[in-house]
Amino acid sequence: MTDRTPTTPSPLTLSSVLVANRGEIARRVFRTCRELGLATVAVHSDADADAPHVREADTAVRLPGDAPADTYLRADLLVKAALDAGADAVHPGYGFLSENAAFATAVLDAGLTWIGPPPAAIEAMASKTRAKELMAAAGVPLLAPVDPATATEADLPLLVKAASGGGGRGMRIVNELSALGGELAAARAEAAAAFGDGEVFVEPYVTGGRHIEVQILADAHGGVWTLGTRDCSLQRRHQKVIEEAPAPGLPDGLRTALHEAAARAARAIGYRGAGTVEFLVTADDRAHFLEMNTRLQVEHPVTEEIYRLDLVALQLSVAEGRPLDAAPPLPRGHAVEARLYAEDPAADWRPGTGPLHRLAVPGAVRLDSGVTDGSVITAHYDPLLAKVIAWAPTRAEAVRRLAHALERARIHGPVTNRDLLVRSLRHPAFTTADGLDTGFYGRHLAELTGHDAARTARTRLAALAAALADAHGRSRFGGFRNLPSQPQLKTYAADGETYAIRYRLVRGALHAEDFPRVRLLAHTADTVVLDVDGLRREFTVARYGDRVHVDTATGGHALTALPRFPDPADRTEPGSLLAPMPGTVVRLAAGLAEGDRVTAGTPLLWLEAMKMEHTVTAPADGTLTSLPVRVGTQVEVGALLAVVGD
């Protein structure tokens, strides 16, 4: 769909672009800049000094410090970096200051080109409450707000949302009216800490709704493109996990209405550049405006794949004053994107940190990543490792291709959500598109993260392969013996289970009571081939200290090799609560003090890491005997947070 009203912009030509961001989006923008012959400038915190986006840029400028507030959120430092490096344009990426009107204004005031919408358009959409007022005036459908002072049981469930920012921060679902006051206070506190603005609002929470968005692109000549729909309904903590384009199963009339509403939204605020208008679509196919993201979206690759466009190149073209074509190209096929996070979905989405030794995704898929082999994942930033995107002529083919590539990916390092992604893509509710709504993980997470007998059997085989590879690596004779001997014992931990592997190798033959139908065909220090019930199975083994990664055609397994004799010094006091990841204590339970009685499951404190808050609760009924941390305390993995005794 196209809308065009003539204007007369001033053309210009760019030569050097600074990306005021990091990681995957910085590398993405740099890739297009190189193709267009533009010089590139990176900025980096101290934690990112050796990051891939820094190495790939023509010039890099240091932002002293590690915390985002001291680096990527410092508009003054970013503008100075652009001027010092000789850049003539700034691309904000997404996140950080990408939707900050004051930053856009500062860039323009410095005589630089802002690769984004006018500051007035950003400001108009910055507050979700103000945005809803503007959209209502423009005839865009939306959910009516609820006054928390007059809310009744009939209004439940409710959703408390931060007026500024996004990413699920400052958002709370309220199912009981008595909890509304507490959730309002918690949302205000989180929003103020995350965005510097504690304003929140309340609206009906739609169960069974789909998160549908429309990609828009507008030029300075009055042209507005609407580039189809995306379904982003699969979310955890209100943050997207799997996205696809076009959104499946939408009636033609609804699809047209969404395009028209998105175009009206763009015209209403004089939009220019790339942006996204987000809607909540109810089960009866009614659309309601959620918000407008005045930037490039994380999930933009699925739109690029079906339209065969480079949205970053179009952003740059629009910023230079060039008009869009009269109409966009026609879409073709289907694209699906999965966000690979360093996190454990089975442990309340706990993020992982540490070195990423290997990331390799096979197959005909697109990989947009901010990391490479050897990158270190820290607690300072979002746990996104990569976006894996598959395109195919049909949805079924694209989904199958993506699941196949993820299953065979080699990911050696922190725990990831890879298995969840594969299982989600193969779940009947997703493959049929009959269960696509924002409650998907609320309904299916337990089964998607559970470990059945088949998974346990595969992990046990992987542990056997790890033990055989280890034996070959430790023996210059390959671990073989000519005479019978006592069984070898290797013990591994994985997925909360312990696997004790007892075996003997006699003249190249495997003898293991727990594996009576397994024959050893070949093995080296990094490859083991087994015959399992007549089926040939190959295992690739990689070791990093006590961590062992075993990759197979049916998925990867991360094992921890356990010592034969545990160190007594590793024991901790019963009832000790240890930090599961590096982070900062951002809140303590109101009035909490040593000596208080607590009950199992009672929140004690909140730890912030990787842009997410994690609640630390009492493990059992008892007395809080120690609370060595305070608000603002920074902790490392394993640091003592509290002790609950009898």
User: Order of strands across the sheet with 158-162?
Assistant: 172-174, 158-162, 200-204
Tell me the CA distances in angstroms from 601 to 43, 342, 605, 616, 618, one per residue in order: 43, 25, 12, 9, 5
Query: Angle at CA 264, nearest 5°, toward 260 and 269?
Result: 155
C-beta separation of 590 from 614 below 8 A: no
Residue 265, SS3 per DSSP? helix
Burial label for 310, CB within 10 Å (0-12, 13-18, 19+), is: middle
Say which of 22, 28, 295, 423 is annotated catalytic.
295
Q: What b/e string do you get for 25-45 counting C-beta neighbours within 10 Å, with b at 16 or more?
A: bbbbbbebbeeeebbbbbbbb
The amino acid sitting at 426 is R
C-beta separation of 398 from 302 below 8 A: no
Tell me the CA distances in angstroms from 235 to 240, 314, 339, 474, one per residue in order: 4, 28, 10, 45
C-beta separation of 168 from 200 below 8 A: no
Q: At how many degrees (to 10) do helices 75-85 and 101-109 cross?
A: 30
Residue 255 annotated as catalytic: no
Q: How many Å apart are CA 225 and CA 219, to the nearest integer?
A: 9
Task: Output the six-digit token pair for 614.
Answer: 């994690």
If you ran DSSP here, which 8-state letter would residue 351 be given? E
Q: How many CB atoms lie within 10 A of CB 238?
A: 17
Q: How many Å apart are CA 470 and CA 401, to the nearest integer?
A: 33
Residue 384: which of 302, 304, 298, 278 has the closest Cα?
298
CB under 8 Å to 566, separation ≥6 — which residues? Answer: none
Catalytic residues: 295
